[in-house]
């Protein structure tokens, strides 16, 4: 496959999975060795130390950088929205795109605070995916094209990317994907999304159960699950995660919906999410269980449940702090600070 021709079939995407590069352990070892020289008790910067070494490992350089972060927000509509699974009407998806463009959304302010570039990818909003409670969300070709769209959204030259989404009804799709991938009961995976009331939550739970039952013959592997139950923005996030691995770009996953998309990659390739961190634990009911399934510990826990890349963009600030300490602190030798006393 030439670099300018993204894969447009599941077979080509499966072939790409075999080409994913591993970590740069030499860069990580050098970063770890530097952490031990810096003027602080060993380990005392906790996860900031881990983040600096993780960035070195996945950027492939001993001195990690965070000058150029980008937030990508993938936006799509969902047929299931017509069944009353969201507290907001479907037209909000398009209206929020305008709000992003005019700089009025939360993610605009957070990008400005974090000095991050923002890209919004609108995915055929006039053509919602199929209603998953009645049949598949997408045909294989459409799903592969959406994955390819996400692959193409990753450009070289960014130090890290935050992957976010926007789409009324997409927590229903995310819950259905999780139920199909991890099993359990529908109510393990369903939450209030944008703020459903009790009656709405009951309806949404029944529809998620129905979606998995109706599509049961289409759930044989992770890509088929994405195709049958997911959405275009979830598929694009899958593509962006894979492309970022090829481009040596570390990823911050946002909330429940972004993490549900990432779970597809987790099930497709062992270690496929090693270049990704979960930025925050969303207040959406199932996110805690989902991050446990992925073996991840979110960086922040602020009761946020907005989506649109907000939590991941906010966490860029932690990555910047980790890099500033890693690259800027003096070593014990440079600052003439005495090292640890011999243990008795
Ligand atoms: O990702 C999350 O943790 C999250 C939790 C609740 C809501 N959202 C956002 O809200 C929208 C989906 O909610 P809903 O209720 O319409 O399914 C969509 O635009 C998401 O970005 C996102
Ligand atoms: C207003 C609004 C903004 C959002 N941003 C991401 N998801 C959203 C859902 C709603 C309803």
Chain segment 11-37, per-residue pLDDT in tens: 999 999 999 999 999 999 999 999 999
Residue 2 has pLDDT above 50, yes or no: no
210 phi/psi in degrees, rounded to 5: -65, -40
Residue 96 has pLDDT above 50, yes or no: yes
Query: Which of these, 70, 39, 116, 113, lies nearest to 326 by C-alpha position?
Result: 39
Q: Where are the beta strands (DSSP E) in 76-181?
A: 117-122, 160-166
Which pLDDT band holds residue 284 (cuts at 50, 70, 90)? very high
96 lines ligand 1 (CB under 6 A): no
Q: Say if residues 158 and 70 touch (Cβ distance below 8 Å).
A: yes
Q: Say if residues 66 and 323 touch (Cβ distance below 8 Å).
A: yes
The rounded Å distance from CA 91 to ligand 1 centre is 14
The rounded Å distance from CA 30 to ligand 1 centre is 40
Q: Say if residues 227 and 130 touch (Cβ distance below 8 Å).
A: no
Model pLDDT, residue 5: 65
Model pLDDT, residue 42: 96
Which pLDDT band holds residue 80 (cuts at 50, 70, 90)? very high
Return the CATH number of the domain spanning residue range 67-319.
Answer: 3.40.50.10210
Contacts of 212 (CB under 8 A, 6+ apart): 176, 179, 180, 186, 219, 229
Q: Say if residues 191 and 284 touch (Cβ distance below 8 Å).
A: yes
Mean pLDDT of 230-237: 98
Catalytic residues: 308
ipTM of the complex: 0.99
N- to C-terminal Cα separation, the chain? 60
**Four-residue CA torsion sign, 283, 313, 241, 55:** negative
Mean pLDDT of 192-199: 98
The rounded Å distance from CA 174 to ligand 2 centre is 16
H or E element at residue 69: strand 69-75
Of all ligands present, the nearest one to the C-alpha of 86 is: 1
> Any idea what the Cα angle at residue 248 is, between residues 243 and 252, rounded to 5°?
75
Model pLDDT, residue 167: 98
Query: Which of these, 106, 120, 102, 118, lies nearest to 70 by C-alpha position?
Result: 118
The rounded Å distance from CA 167 to ligand 2 centre is 8
Joined together, the tokens standing for residue 182 give 């991890």
Can you tell me the distance from the alpha carbon of 184 to that of 175, in angstroms, rounded to the nearest whole number?
11
Model pLDDT, residue 6: 72
Ligand 2: which of 162, 166, 174, 200 to mutate, judged by most atoms within 8 Å of the beta carbon? 166
DSSP 8-state assignment for residue 273: T
Model pLDDT, residue 344: 54
Mean pLDDT of 98-103: 98
Joined together, the tokens standing for residue 278 give 């979960």
> What is the average pLDDT score of the chain?
97
For residue 156, the tally of other CB atoms under 10 A from its CB is: 8
Q: Say if residues 306 and 44 touch (Cβ distance below 8 Å).
A: no
Q: Ligand 2 atom closest to Cα of 88?
A: 11
What is the number of alpha carbons within 13 Å of residue 226 lying toward its C-beta?
32
pTM: 0.98
Model pLDDT, residue 1: 42
- Per residue in 183-192, pLDDT (tens digit) is 999 999 999 9
Joined together, the tokens standing for residue 75 give 């936006």
Mean pLDDT of 237-265: 98
Longest pairwise C-alpha distance within the chain: 71
Mean pLDDT of 36-50: 98
Of all ligands present, the nearest one to the C-alpha of 258 is: 1
* Chain position carrying tokens 């799709």: 173
Mean pLDDT of 230-253: 98
The shares of helix, strand and coil residues in the chain, as percent rounded to the nearest 5, are 50, 10, 40
Q: Say if residues 179 and 290 touch (Cβ distance below 8 Å).
A: no
Which pLDDT band holds residue 141 (cuts at 50, 70, 90)? very high
Of all ligands present, the nearest one to the C-alpha of 100 is: 2
- Per residue in 317-344, pLDDT (tens digit) is 999 999 999 999 999 999 999 999 976 5
Q: Which of 104-113, 285-294, 334-343 has the lowest mean pLDDT?
A: 334-343
Model pLDDT, residue 342: 78
């Amino acid at each position: 496959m030439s670099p300018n021709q993204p894969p447009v079939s599941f077979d080509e995407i499966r072939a790409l999975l075999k080409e994913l590069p591993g970590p740069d352990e030499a860069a990580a070892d050098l970063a770890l060795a530097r952490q031990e020289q810096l003027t602080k008790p060993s380990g005392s910067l906790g996860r900031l130390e881990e983040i600096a070494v993780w960035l070195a490992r996945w950027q492939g350089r001993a001195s990690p950088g965070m000058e150029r972060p980008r937030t990508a927000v993938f936006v799509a509509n969902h047929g299931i929205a017509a069944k009353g699974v969201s507290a907001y009407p479907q037209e909000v998806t398009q209206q929020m795109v305008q709000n992003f463009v005019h700089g009025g959304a939360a993610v605009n302010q957070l990008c400005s605070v974090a000095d991050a570039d923002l890209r919004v990818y609108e995915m055929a909003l006039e053509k919602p995916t199929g209603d998953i409670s009645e049949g598949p969300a997408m045909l294989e070709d459409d799903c592969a094209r959406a994955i390819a769209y996400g692959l193409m959204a990753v450009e070289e030259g960014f130090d890290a990317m935050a992957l976010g989404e926007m789409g009324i009804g997409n927590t229903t799709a995310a819950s259905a994907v999780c139920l199909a991938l991890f099993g359990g009961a529908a109510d393990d995976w369903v939450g209030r999304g944008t703020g459903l009331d009790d009656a709405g939550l009951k309806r949404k739970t029944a529809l998620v159960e129905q979606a998995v039952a109706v599509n049961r013959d289409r759930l044989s592997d992770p890509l088929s699950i994405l195709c049958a139950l997911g959405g275009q923005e979830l598929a694009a996030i899958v593509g962006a995660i894979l492309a970022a691995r090829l481009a040596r770009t570390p990823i911050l996953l946002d909330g429940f919906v972004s993490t549900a998309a990432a779970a597809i990659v987790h099930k497709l390739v062992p270690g496929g999410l090693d270049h990704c961190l979960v930025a925050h634990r969303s207040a959406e009911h199932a996110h805690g269980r989902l991050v446990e399934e992925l073996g991840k510990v979110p960086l922040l826990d602020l009761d946020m449940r907005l989506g649109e890349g907000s939590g991941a963009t906010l966490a860029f600030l932690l990555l910047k702090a980790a890099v500033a300490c890693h690259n800027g602190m003096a070593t014990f030798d440079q600052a003439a600070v005495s090292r640890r006393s011999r243990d008795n």
